[in-house]
Structure formats: C-alpha cells, structure tokens
Amino acid sequence: EVQLVESGGGLVQPGGSLRVSCAASRFTFSSYSMNWVRQAPGKGLEWVSYISTSSSNIYYADSVKGRFTISRDNAKNSLSLQMNSLRAEDTAVYYCVRYSYDQHLFDYWGQGILVTVSS
C-alpha cells in the first residue's frame, strides 16, 4: 500500500519559516505528480501547491504564492514545502497528496502534519 509520511510540523511565530517534508514509499515516486493540501482547524480542504514528476511544472494557490516553495527529490523519494513569512491563517494540517493524472484525482493522502503559527 502507498505510504506518505509527513514530518517537520510544529509551532512557529508569525513571520517565521518552517519546512515540512513527506517521505514516499511503496510506489514509483518519480512517476507521480505531488501536491500539498491543507486544512485549517475545523475548516475545509484547501489545495496549496502542485509539482510535476520532473519539477518542470509548479503551481501555487494565490494565498501562498511568493511565500511557499514546493520541491521534490526523486532520488530520495521525498517532497518538501518550504514555508516563509508565515501568518496565523497558515495554521493548518498539511497533507502530502499523490495525484493520479489518469483518474484526475488526489488518490493517496498522508496522515497530515500540524503547523501552528502563533506568538
């Protein structure tokens, strides 16, 4: 079964930075586009960022554009999200999510990692 395990969450002050990572296993990581999707406490899902298999195509939600950077290392089967200039409204559980282009869906989700932005 596909495994996606996030790490690196925690408490950070407004204006600070944090990097969350995702370790992927049990599938050919380099063959799949990946995403980050977040969920603020008690709120709905929000797509954050997308990266294609070779990192040639990268997209961001307007809410994080210019502050967040997505990257991947296919040799290490890992996905990362560097978050800078963090705001209180970035507080959320961040999910690492695999994208299936064939079926047009987010087909596997990690368990999520909590990022809290607070002074």
Q: Kindly list the residues in this chain that would bind another protein in the complex (CB under 8 A).
A: 35, 37, 44-47, 50, 59, 61, 95, 103-107, 109-112
**In this structure, what token pair is assigned to residue 85?**
């200039």
CB of 30 to another protein, least distance (A): 21
CB of 34 to another protein, least distance (A): 12
Whether 10 contacts 18, CB under 8 Å: yes
| Cβ distance to another protein smaller for residue 27 or 106 | 106
Side chain identity, residue 35: N
| Cβ distance to another protein smaller for residue 2 or 77 | 2
Cα dihedral 95, 82, 72, 97, rounded to 10, equals 10
Closest CA to 72 of 81, 83, 59, 61: 81
| Cβ distance to another protein smaller for residue 66 or 119 | 66
